[in-house]
RNA sequence: GUGGCUAUAGCUCAGUCGGUAGAGCGCCUGGUUGUGGUCCAGGAGGUCGCCGGUUCAAGCCCGGUUAGCCACCCCA
């Protein structure tokens, strides 16, 4: 048999892992719908020029090509002029296109969730995949989008992730910043290359304060004092509105106050205040969060798993003043995206969350001998009719083997048909008489459950 | 795209100084009268990633190649 090797970056779970993933997806979806987000799905491909819009040349896009393309249509370019297609690398670009395409039929502000696979042609490693699932929520407005949505979106996400706590998800920390604060502060200092400064600040975790200070001077042309100011700003963090005062004081000290800074601070303060009341301890302002250098214009978010910070952000997003635009109308939006595959891969590899079994089956009906298989099928039918997931033994092997079949799969009950039916809980060994038309397993054994790992 | 490491049984790995392969787990069979897990006995299973080179002889040395892992970059 040909040797099969896993394809790096294209994760696949075993059935019990899939149970965990499916549970995570269910909880996310339920929470999103609870908050009024409507579900959509967009096609997997977009025209390549659309995907590469916004100058995102760094994104590694998988391009779609037909096997028969060559030879068949040397005239394709001159003829149909088919657009080159690429697999989407996130759900925001397709959503923006979808909004424009359906603007006349959507009601704004439009709240949608979208859970789909995305593809990125990057070099994979732990927690980084080339094919992975994202779960996005966004709110998009026509022309304008009130700031309170920038407060709502991370709180919905905090609630969704919070709902997974009981099955083993570690606590999460949503780090927030506001692009206007950073931009206002830097401009107030006299630094005009806001993106450049942010890019350096983003390296703080990796290379440390001193190196970043050097880079700010060398690359961004900052004075030592300006660099120090940027680093002081980046050092500010906290979960209450004192961070706003801290920034104001800092700005005053460097004489860097601007209107833009004040606007940003007001927004950030409102977010922190609301979050403190609605999800205490979850949302933390962190003035060094940069995120998606080019397109975010207001709040930016990043989410860490407490105890797994090395994994990177499992959920991030922000506010775009121009999520989509058709030239005449602009559609601002704010959204967050959960990296479901990254999250689930860690939950599984670290044993944080496990499924009680990998098969849906609650009962395995034994087969006495092949001549009596119909009797076992009848028992199974009776159980299934009452919603009990049931399977029939693959062969009329010795009962010990049939029990083993159940054990290997985590099926909790084995049914022995006969004059007097009996059902055995193979975990306890307890075996009792039972009637296929009335017996039911305990509620907790009816379906696989997801539980915290050991 | 750049750099480092790795590739031997289904899985995790050992294999000394070059002398045609081992362990643990798993799997199969048996331990009598149809009830698993523990225990005991036995058994199956490997083109040592692939191609080439050196050598009397290569899992081991050399070159190439493919794949995987890790780091950088970037990001979910």
ipTM of the predicted structure?
0.86
Q: Which of A11-15, A109-113, A140-144 has the lowest mean pLDDT?
A: A11-15
Q: Which strand B nucleotides have any atom less than 7 A from protein CB atoms?
A: 1-2, 27-29, 34-37, 49, 67-76
pLDDT of residue A76: 45
Which SS3 state, helix, strand or coil, does residue A413 take? strand
Token pair 């305990």: residue:
A442
**How many Å apart are CA A316 and CA A320, to the nearest integer?**
13
A179 appears as a binding residue in the annotation: no
Polymer length of chain A: 454
Q: Tens of pLDDT along A197-235?
A: 888 888 887 777 888 888 888 878 888 899 999 999 999
Pair of tokens at residue A298: 């207001």
Q: Tens of pLDDT along A227-279?
A: 999 999 999 999 999 999 999 999 999 999 999 999 999 999 999 999 999 98
Residue A179: closest CA among A334, A337, A283: A334
Orientation of helix A259-278 relative to helix A148-162, angle to 10°: 30
A4 CA to B16 C1', in Å?
33
* Closest nt by CA–C1' to A3: B49
With a cut of 80, say whether residue A450 has pLDDT above it: yes
Strand partners, A305: A172
Strand partners, A416: A422
A117 CA to B64 C1', in Å?
37
A295 appears as a binding residue in the annotation: yes
What's the pTM value of the predicted model, to 2 decimals? Answer: 0.91
pLDDT of residue A127: 86
A386 appears as a binding residue in the annotation: no
With a cut of 50, say whether residue A77 has pLDDT above it: no
Top pLDDT among A58 and A332 is at A332
* Closest nt by CA–C1' to A318: B76
Is the Cβ–Cβ distance between A304 and A175 less than 8 Å? yes
Angle made by CA atoms A102, A106, A110, in degrees to the nearest 5: 120
The domains of chain A, with CATH numbers, are: 7-44+88-169+315-355 (3.30.930.10), 172-305 (3.30.930.10), 364-452 (3.40.50.800)
A263 CA to B58 C1', in Å?
73
Q: Tens of pLDDT along A358-412?
A: 999 999 999 999 999 999 999 999 999 999 999 999 999 999 999 999 999 999 9
* Closest nt by CA–C1' to A8: B68
A66 appears as a binding residue in the annotation: no
**How many Å apart are CA A95 and CA A350, to the nearest integer?**
33
* Closest nt by CA–C1' to A9: B68
Q: Tens of pLDDT along A339-357?
A: 999 999 999 988 899 999 9
**Sheet of strand A45-47, all strands in order from the earlier edge strand to the far edge:** A45-47, A85-87, A63-64
A134 appears as a binding residue in the annotation: yes
pLDDT of residue A75: 47
**How many Å apart are CA A13 and CA A176, to the nearest integer?**
32
């Amino acid at each position: 048999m040909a040797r099969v090797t896993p394809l790096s970056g294209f994760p696949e779970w075993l059935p019990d892992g899939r149970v965990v993933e499916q549970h995570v997806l269910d909880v996310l979806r339920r929470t999103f719908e609870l908050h009024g987000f409507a579900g959509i799905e967009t096609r997997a491909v977009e025209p390549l020029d659309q995907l590469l819009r916004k100058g995102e040349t760094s994104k590694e896009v998988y391009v779609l090509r037909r096997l028969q393309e060559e030879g068949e249509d040397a005239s394709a370019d001159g003829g149909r002029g088919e657009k080159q297609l690429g697999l989407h690398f996130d759900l925001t670009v397709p959503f923006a296109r979808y909004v424009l395409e359906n603007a006349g039929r959507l009601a704004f502000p439009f709240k949608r969730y979208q859970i789909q696979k995305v593809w990125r042609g990057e070099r994979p490693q732990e927690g980084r995949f080339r094919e992975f699932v994202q779960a996005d929520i966004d709110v998009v407005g026509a022309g304008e989008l009130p700031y309170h949505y920038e407060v709502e979106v991370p709180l919905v996400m905090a609630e969704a992730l919070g709902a997974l706590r009981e099955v083993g998800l570690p606590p999460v920390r949503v780090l927030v910043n506001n692009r206007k604060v950073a931009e206002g502060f830097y401009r107030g200092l006299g630094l005009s290359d806001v993106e450049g400064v942010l890019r350096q600040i983003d390296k703080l975790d990796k290379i440390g304060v001193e190196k970043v200070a050097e880079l700010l001077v060398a690359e961004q042309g900052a004075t030592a004092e300006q660099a120090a100011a940027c680093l002081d700003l980046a050092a500010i963090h906290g979960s209450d509105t004192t961070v706003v005062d801290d920034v104001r004081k800092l700005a005053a000290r460097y004489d860097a106050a601007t209107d833009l800074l004040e606007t940003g601070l007001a927004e950030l303060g409102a977010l922190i205040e609301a979050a403190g009341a609605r999800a205490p301890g979850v949302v933390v302002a962190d003035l060094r969060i940069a995120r998606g250098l080019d397109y975010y214009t207001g709040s930016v978010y990043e989410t860490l798993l407490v105890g797994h910070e090395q994994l990177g952000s499992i959920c991030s997003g922000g506010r775009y003043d121009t999520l989509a635009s058709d030239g005449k109308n602009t559609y601002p939006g704010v959204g967050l995206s959960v990296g479901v595959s990254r999250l689930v891969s860690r939950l599984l590899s670290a044993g944080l969350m496990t499924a009680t079994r990998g098969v849906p089956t609650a009962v395995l009906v034994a087969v006495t001998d092949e001549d009596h298989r119909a009797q076992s099928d009848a028992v199974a039918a009776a159980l299934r009719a009452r919603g009990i997931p049931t399977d029939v033994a693959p062969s009329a092997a010795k009962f010990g083997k049939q029990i083993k079949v159940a054990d290997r799969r985590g099926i909790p009950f084995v049914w022995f048909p006969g004059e007097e039916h009996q059902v055995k809980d193979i975990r306890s060994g307890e075996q009792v008489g039972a009637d296929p038309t009335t017996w039911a397993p305990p509620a907790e054994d009816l379906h696989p459950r997801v539980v915290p790992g050991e």
